[in-house]
Structure 1
Amino acid sequence: MIPGEIRTRSAPLDLNDDRERLSLVVVNAGDRPIQIGSHLHFPDANPALRFDREACRGFRLDVPAGTSVRLEPGVSRTVELVAFGGRRYVPGLQIRDLSKEPKTGERVPRPVVPFGTPGVDVPEPERASGTAMRVGEVDAHDGDPAEVVPTEAPPGDQDATEDTEEQQP
């Protein structure tokens, strides 16, 4: 034996083979990618994710410890979940009234339908609007395409020379 060596059976290891499993369609309705870690209580995941949070209470991702799943904006993905052991109660990241949490065994899963099914409403992702940017063009005099010259100032901006003019008494 070599120091630090890990010996396993020659047969493949089945992770979580004795746990209840659940497949769930998740849509990232946000405008940024979202990554979910292996042991996060799935209903506590980012609010921009659209899925049946009640159906997966007491579940986490069915992936090896230390790994994660990345969900791109506007994309639906089927994820595999596995039940936590014990009471399946995980306080998680969300602050909520613990007296209103369902007791073990009171979870009633709802049917999960694939993305795009008629009658399933998935709201459009919220996009940033009204970004304060100057409209610009490339300065043709020096030929440097990286330099942008403002051609129009946003409302409220004033020319610097107007502010520095001295007023005569």
Structure 2
Amino acid sequence: MIPGEYQLKDGEIELCAGRERITLEVANTGDRPIQVGSHYHFAETNPALVFDRAKARGFRLDVAAGTAIRFEPGQTREVTLIPFAGSRHIYGFRGEVMGPLSIAPAPARKSSSGDAANGDPS
């Protein structure tokens, strides 16, 4: 064995085996690329990404830890999401949850720069 060498079993490794999965269509309506990391609360992503945010509440990308998906301007693509596990408490990101996911979401708030996700670019 070489120091630091990985010795893996033959075959495929299935990530998040047996977990619920949902698929959403996501469009980048912005003028810049947007990259979303593996463990980012998908419902709280950049407002220029247009998709069913209510359905994405409590979910993250179904990709390997430490990786990301990039959305180019004008691009529409399907993504697969899996639910957060553990205590299901979400803190940080855009500050839209800040606690347990079991609590109903607060009404949507409008930022000072408008809300492109809801069709208001003002």
Pair in the same fold by TM > 0.5: yes
Asked if the contact 2:43/2:54 (under 8 Å) is kept, the reply is yes
* Secondary structure, counterpart of 1:55 in structure 2: helix
Contact 2:28 2:74 survives alignment (8 Å) = yes
Instruction: Letter of the 2:32 partner, please give it.
Output: R
> Secondary structure of the equivalent of 2:78?
strand
- 1:63 corresponding residue in structure 2: 63
Shift of 1:63: 1.0
Alpha-carbon shift at residue 102 of structure 1 (Å): 4.6
Residue 123 of structure 1: how far off its partner (Å): 4.8
Equivalence for 1:8:
8
Matched pairs, number: 109
The 1:59–1:34 alpha-carbon spacing in structure 2 relative to 1, beyond 3 Å, is same
Say which SS state the counterpart of residue 80 (structure 2) adopts. Answer: strand
| Alignment correspondent of 2:81 | 81
In the alignment, the residues of structure 2 paired with residue 55 and residue 92 of structure 1 have an alpha-carbon distance, to the nearest angstrom, of 19
Q: Which runs of 5+ in 1 are unaligned?
A: 108-121, 127-169
How far has the Cα of 1:88 moved from its partner?
2.5
- With CA pairs under 8 Å and 6+ residues apart, which has the higher RCO, 1 or 2? 2
1:97 is displaced (CA, Å) by: 6.5
Q: Which entry has the higher C-alpha Rg, 1 or 2?
A: 1
| CA distance in 1: counterparts of 2:63 and 2:11, whole angstroms | 19
Distance in 2 separating the partners of 1:102 and 1:39: 15
CA distances 1:74-108 after superposition (whole Å, capped 9, x unpaired)? 22110011111123332131124647x6517x79x
The aligned residue for residue 114 of structure 1 is none
| Cα RMSD for the two superposed structures | 2.5
CA separation of 1:32 and 1:95: change in aligned 2, threshold 3 A? same
Query: Partners of 1:102 and 1:63 in 2: how far apart?
Result: 21
4+ residue stretches of structure 1 with deviation over 4 A?
none
Report the alpha carbon displacement of residue 16 of structure 1 after superposing the two structures with TM.
Answer: 0.9
In the alignment, which residue of structure 2 is the partner of 1:103?
102
The change in CA–CA distance for 1:97 and 1:5 in structure 2 (over 3 A counts) is closer
Unaligned runs of 5+ in 2: 106-117
Question: Is residue 20–residue 82 contact of structure 2 (8 Å, CA) maintained in 1?
Answer: yes
